[in-house]
Each structure stands twice: as structure tokens, then as C-alpha cells.
Amino acid sequence: MSKNIKKTDRRRRIIKTSGRQAQWEAIKKLQIFTIAEVSKKSKEKLDTCRLYISLLVKAKIVEEVVNQPFETSKFQLKKDVGFHHPRIRKDGTRIPDGNTQDAIWRLMRLFKKFSFIELDTALRNAGLETHLGTIKGYIQSLAKAGYLKRLDQPNPRQIKTYLLVKNSGPKPPIVQKVNRIFDPNLKEITWREDDEEISL
């Protein structure tokens, strides 16, 4: 019995975070950092860290505080979004994690018609902290996949309103890293990144 416990403890000790999670944990610990510092602390390649930090800057989670050649620039963590590393698209919008998608989807099914501002307010009232960019990104993906329809507004300056037109079930359609949506209710891929962009 004691041998099994020792083996388990040994396995736990050698399990280390890697990839973007390791970079994110390094950033959270350092707070103010260079790319080289994150690379050293996370044990990830310099190019890998450069790419992820550039995405974090686009997402306004990190900001550049000392403007020098990118390798020696100083960055600061401005928004700590939790333990798990934020997943970010190339344009800087966040890919919602499973819990966020679930909460947004439940609100969409409840409201039927909504704006991203209304969803954001409801999430905050429920004690869930999220970002408008996250909500916008999820709305955009679901609109592309035919779950939502953007309603015409008499005034183009008005905040855009959407209607839920495809309520496939209680489980949220999942936006995956490979830019596609998997619907666990239908158990199928309902959209891939081939359609034209929908403006928000």
C-alpha cells in the first residue's frame, strides 16, 4: 500500500504545467515582465512566449509599459482572468471557456432577444465576471452558425440586438480552438470557419 502511495506522489511531482498554461502562470507570478523572463520561468521557447504575449496585448489583458524592441519591452498584467489561461483568437477576441459559454447560452435561451450589453449585465448581476469581447466573440460565432439572427435597427448607432432562432437544447454549442462549433445537443459540428465575417 505504501509503495503505491509513493509511486503516486512521485508521478504528481513530475506532472508540470506546460504550453500556454505555464506561460500564464509565469505572467501571473511576475506581474511585470519581459518575454525572456516568461520564457525562462515557464520553460517555453522564446517564439512561443512572444506569440502568446502579443495575443494577450491584443486582448488588453496585458499592456506594454516600457516601449523598446519587442524582445526587451516590459509588459504588465492588467487583467487577471483566473487560474486557467485565457484562450485568444488572432484578432484578440477571447474564446469563451466551457463555464462562460454555458452561462451565456442559458441567458440566450432565457431572454430569446438580447444585446451583448444585456448579457454582460446579467452575468455580472449573477456574480460572473466576463469580458464584452468574450460575449461578442461567442455571439459572432453563433450568428455564423445560424443560431442567432441580428435584428435590423432603425438607428445604425443603436446597440445591435440578436434573436435566438436555433435553440438546440440546454447544452451550450462549444466554440473550439480550431474555429468550429460543436453542438453537444445534436452531437455534430454545426459550423466551420468558412463563412464570411459578421460585423458586431
Pick the CATH number of 94-192 from 1.10.10.10, 3.30.505.10, 1.10.3080.10, 3.40.309.10: 1.10.10.10
Q: Percent of the chain beyond pLDDT 90?
A: 42
pLDDT at 143 > cutoff 90 = yes
Phi, psi of 95 (to 5 degrees): -90, 120
**For helices 35-42 and 19-30, angle between their N-to-C axes, nearest 10 degrees:** 120
pLDDT digits (tens, 9 = 90+) for 145-195: 999 999 987 777 778 899 999 999 998 998 876 678 888 889 888 888 764
Pick the CATH number of 2-88 from 2.60.120.10, 3.40.190.10, 2.40.30.10, 1.10.10.10: 1.10.10.10
- Give CA torsion, residues 92, 93, 96, 100, to 10 deg: 120
- The dihedral sign for the CA sequence 51, 52, 57, 62: negative
14 pLDDT tier (thresholds 50, 70, 90): very low
pLDDT digits (tens, 9 = 90+) for 17-65: 668 889 999 999 999 999 999 999 999 999 999 999 999 999 899 999 9
Q: Hunting for cell 466551420 — which residue is that? A: 192
Tell me which residue of 30, 34, 58 sits closest to 46, measured CA to CA.
Answer: 34
Q: Which grid cell is 172?
A: 451550450
Query: So what's the pLDDT on residue 13?
Result: 37
Look up the pTM and report it.
0.52
Domain ranges of the chain: 2-88, 94-192
94-192 has the same fold as 2-88: yes
User: Which residues on neighbouring strands pair with residue 181, listed in sequence order?
Assistant: 175, 191
